[in-house]
């Protein structure tokens, strides 16, 4: 069974440029999360989806961040415009089944110059 797939793995951009990250969750997992992980820190929740509905986006900086999960499967996270402080690893995780275990992708490392 394929795991959570994220792309791109690495992205380097100039500040004020836009960037987008894509996530394909494990098949059948209805719950999808985007986390941000700063260097040397634990992941911090940005947004949670139940199917196509964003049920918790309270930690998403809505002035520059947006996310969508069309058809309740793949998801994209966009930053426009990017700032220096956005440099981090953006992790996608999906959840499903009886255990409720979260499965993480390998992350997308963003560097803003």
Partner 1 sequence: QQQVKQSPQSLIVQKGGISIINCAYENTAFDYFPWYQQFPGKGPALLIAIRPDVSEKKEGRFTISFNKSAKQFSLHIMDSQPGDSATYFCAASREGSARQLTFGSGTQLTVLP
Binding site for partner 1 (CB under 8 A): 4, 31, 33, 40-45, 48, 50, 56, 91, 93, 95, 100-102, 104-107
Least separation in angstroms between CB 111 and partner 1: 14
Least separation in angstroms between CB 34 and partner 1: 12
Tell me if 13 sits within 8 A of 19, measured CB to CB. yes
Query: 22 or 104, CB closer to partner 1?
Result: 104
Six token digits for residue 62:
């809505």
Q: Reduced to 3 states, what is the DSSP secondary structure of residue 12? A: strand
Six token digits for residue 61:
């900086």
Distance CA 36, CA 47 (A): 10
Distance CA 49, CA 9 (A): 22
Least separation in angstroms between CB 50 and partner 1: 7
Least separation in angstroms between CB 13 and partner 1: 20
């Amino acid at each position: 069974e394929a795991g959570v797939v994220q792309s791109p793995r690495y992205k380097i951009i100039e500040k004020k440029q836009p960037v987008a990250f894509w996530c394909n969750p494990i098949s059948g997992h209805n719950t999808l999360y985007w986390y941000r992980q700063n260097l040397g820190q634990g992941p911090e929740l940005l947004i949670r989806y139940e199917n196509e509905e964003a049920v918790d986006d309270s930690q998403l900086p809505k002035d520059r961040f947006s996310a969508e999960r069309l058809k309740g499967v793949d998801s994209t996270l966009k930053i426009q415009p990017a700032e220096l402080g956005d440099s981090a690893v953006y992790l996608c995780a999906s959840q499903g089944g009886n255990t409720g275990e979260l499965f993480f992708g390998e992350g997308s490392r963003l560097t803003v110059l």
